[in-house]
Amino acid sequence: MSNQLYISEIQNLFDTVQRSEIFEDQKMMTDAVPLFPIAKINEDYEKAKDAEGFDLKDFVLAHFDFLGAKISIQREDHLPIKEHIEKLWDELTRTAYEERGTLLKLPKAYVVPGGRFNEFFYWDSYFIMLGLKVSDRVEMMENIVENCSYLIQNVGFVPNASRTHFLSRSQPPYFSLMLDLLFETTHKEDIYIQYHDTLEKEYAFWMDGEEEPENNSGVKRVIRTEDGDILNRYYDAENAPRPESYLIDIEDHEEASGDEFYRNIRSACESGWDFSSRWFADGEHIQTIETLNLAQVDLNCLLWHLETTLAKSSALQNLFEKEKYFSERAAKRRQMINKYFWDERMKIYKDYHIKKNTTTPSEHIAALYPLFLGIADQDQAEAVAQALAEKFLYPGGLVTTTKNSGQQWDLPNAWAPYQWLGFKAMKNYGFHELAEKIKNNWCSNVERVYKNTGKLMEKYNALDTETIAGGGEYPNQDGFGWTNGVYLQLQQN
């Protein structure tokens, strides 16, 4: 991956552009493609910047290409929603056979989420695949798996998204679940053998440094508890403002304490939940973010699935030692998930605070993962189902937390991934009525917004089904990959 230094090579110009807010969206500059060699751009900038009448925006527009900065989808006629989604798959398809600016090259075509997002996103792609399966677009499902494998083989992991400034973090590890989905679609068992090496490499990335932590501390993505048990956390290798949200981070940092503020922010981005009261020590303010102090229930469940899949892919090749190793690790992690993340008093799964040796106060929808993956027992599932019905399910779908902080991954917003996880989790444990209610509440919300706007949104307001969802560092986006995927999959179930 040759050009990962690209943004740091234009740091002075980049810093000035982001601080001066000449673009409404900080992502614009990170996605810009240089029209000249970097050395020439820097030289031109140094010469021009102090001259009389220098216009920063004009300079940037003359030196960079902003092609395809925003996906705008216009329809003359208002198609039925499913036909609209079928057309969207083609409109959201991109290729990147060579590197351009910050965009990483990928061997296969892929589907982007939509709106301002013009790159391949890791966990979004799993939920996009759910819809591609319904649309019978098997080749694109295979492309997604192939692109993930290419990134794991070449970078060591799947970055948050396919841009150079995401090479310090991943996203929820869904690769093993993508293989399951592809297997369900094609019934070719050899895909587990084909990607065995890729699964091992991704596992090595998440477990990197596991020998190192002392009790009650963490190294990279691994933490060791007071009892000496190993759990995982989200993490980012960099401790600096995010280029794509540069000024926001710098401003938030001014009122924050602790020297790991930027890393905590970035680590929350690795979870996909940027941002939520789930990460805040005081439950209210982003300045108190402490992602690094937590072992997260969703991540540990996904890694249990990865270990289980590695045991399966080892067994298929008669690699008995490896099969035993990964089976034992999965069994141990299953115990750990119930030991550390189950809150017996509140009867729900939560994150675990490694400094306080207790679950965190935040009640959130990632509690679904042990049910989605079949790790919970029936009593636990019943308690989670009850919490879901009482605290999370609203007329427009499942909300992510029980707290309204103004952050986008908090109440009142409903996000596509968790409608699927909720539906499937309830089905797994026989709560069919609740599963149907989750499906119907959210799907009717999606249909209503589509009827009124002609758009499929990134997120929805679950409480007030008359308004469009808000919060977050940018406006609600139209497109939208995982909404399309989950809607189609739910409608088929």
Q: Which residues are catalytic?
A: 274, 458
Residue 114 per-residue DSSP state: B
Q: What is d(CA 298, CA 303) in angstroms, rounded to the nearest whole number?
A: 9
Q: What is d(CA 115, CA 25) in angstroms, rounded to the nearest whole number?
A: 12
One-letter-per-residue 3-state SS of 298-346:
HHHHHHHHHHHHHHHHHHHCCCHHHHHHHHHHHHHHHHHHHHHCEECCC
Q: What is d(CA 53, CA 285) in angstroms, rounded to the nearest whole number?
A: 41
Q: What is d(CA 347, CA 213) in angstroms, rounded to the nearest whole number?
A: 30
Give bridge partners of residue 289 from the DSSP assignment: 280
**How far is CA 293 from each of CA 261, 333, 462, rounded to the nearest angstrom?**
12, 19, 30
Residue labelled with tokens 């035993």: 324
Smallest CA-to-CA distance from 458 within 490, 414, 424 is with 414
Dihedral pair phi/psi, residue 346, rounded to 5°: -90, -10
**How far is CA 419 from each of CA 77, 144, 394, 450, rounded to the nearest angstrom?**
29, 22, 12, 17
Can you read off the two tokens belonging to residue 402?
A: 């029980």
Q: Which residues contact 95 (CB under 8 A, 6 or more apart)?
A: 106, 108, 109, 110
Smallest CA-to-CA distance from 89 within 125, 39, 48 is with 125
Say whether 442 sits in a helix, a strand or coil: helix
8 A C-beta contact, residue 210 and residue 327: no
Say whether 219 sits in a helix, a strand or coil: strand
8 A C-beta contact, residue 350 and residue 383: no
* Amino acid at residue number 43: E
Can you read off the two tokens belonging to residue 18?
A: 């982001």
Q: Cα 178 vs. chain centroid, distance in angstroms?
A: 14
Can you read off the two tokens belonging to residue 224?
A: 């060791």
Smallest CA-to-CA distance from 398 within 443, 430, 458 is with 443
Give bridge partners of residue 461 from the DSSP assignment: 413
Dihedral pair phi/psi, residue 310, rounded to 5°: -65, -35
Strands 348-349 and 342-343, sheet pairing: antiparallel
8 A C-beta contact, residue 418 and residue 365: yes
